[in-house]
């Protein structure tokens, strides 16, 4: 039996900045509100917000392309992402010790919860994705490129036509230096209704998932992961 080990990673989250009197902030909805910025890093806030704005615009362009691929109007998803709940995450994986196991895990196998994920990674490597046959494939870093993952919400929207792909970070014994990655989780507005798209259902293919809001789905996944005994096991946990 294989034993999966994990090394702790450091993270910094940048969420949607909204004023304290915004209804989402007053309601305490996750991913909306002020961020806590380190005072010791001048210019960090400005750089992160500028990057977040740029990557949000890229996410909107990709969703427009996805709409076209589904034979929908190019701007079909735009209203649902008008106040996207995208989270920018800065992740640092420390170097592995000399006696690290070959199968040392930096991030366990999981799918992403939202719409799409745009991942910027350094050249250290370690990302792996699982194909339909259950095999793990190495996803080597490509210079000046993003890795784009489909999330659970998009799978639900498309009636499982597009699949949320399982992936993990394998920091094996060869990972002797710091690893940095910057995923951006681009998801619809908290109140957006998620139901089977009109082009993804037919007489012989009824909707596979009941309608819900994006917020209901995200809260369900949060509770399954962090708050219930029925949460998926470590190898299948969704983050």
Residue 127's H or E segment, with its range, is strand 127-130
Q: In the chain, what are the domains?
A: 5-226 (2.60.120.330)
pLDDT tens track for 186-222: 999 999 999 999 999 999 999 999 999 999 998 888 7
The pLDDT assigned to 228 comes to 54
What token pair was written down for 159? Answer: 């009636």
pLDDT classification of 100: cutoffs 50, 70, 90:
low
Instruction: Please spell the DSSP secondary structure of 168-227, one letter per residue.
Output: EEE--TT--S-EEEEEEEE---TT-EE---GGG-BTTB--SS--EEHHHHHHHHHHHHHT
Structure tokens at 53: 């704005």
Q: State the pLDDT at residue 98.
A: 63
| Model confidence, pTM | 0.85
Angstrom distance (rounded) from CA 164 to CA 113: 8
């Amino acid at each position: 039996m294989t034993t999966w080990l994990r090394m702790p990673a450091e993270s910094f989250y940048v969420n949607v900045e909204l004023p304290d009197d915004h209804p989402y902030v007053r309601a305490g909805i996750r991913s909306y509100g002020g961020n806590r910025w380190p005072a010791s890093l001048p210019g960090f806030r400005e750089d992160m917000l500028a990057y977040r704005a740029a990557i949000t615009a890229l996410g909107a362009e990709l969703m427009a392309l996805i709409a076209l691929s589904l034979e929908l109007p190019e701007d079909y998803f735009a209203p649902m992402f008008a106040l996207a709940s995208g989270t920018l995450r800065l992740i640092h994986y420390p170097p592995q010790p000399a006696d690290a196991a070959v199968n040392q895990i930096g991030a366990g196998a999981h799918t992403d919860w939202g719409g799409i994920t745009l991942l910027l990674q350094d050249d250290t490597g370690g990302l792996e994705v699982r194909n339909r046959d259950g095999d793990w494939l190495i996803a080597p870093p490509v210079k000046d490129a993003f890795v784009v993952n489909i999330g659970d919400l998009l799978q639900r929207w498309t009636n499982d036509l597009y699949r949320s792909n399982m992936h993990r970070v394998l920091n094996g014994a060869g990972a002797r230096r710091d690893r940095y990655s910057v995923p951006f989780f681009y998801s619809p507005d908290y109140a957006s209704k998620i139901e089977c798209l009109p082009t993804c259902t037919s007489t012989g293919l009824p909707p596979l998932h009941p309608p819900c809001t994006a917020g209901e789905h995200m809260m369900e996944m949060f509770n399954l992961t962090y708050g219930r005994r029925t949460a998926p096991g470590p190898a299948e946990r969704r983050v």
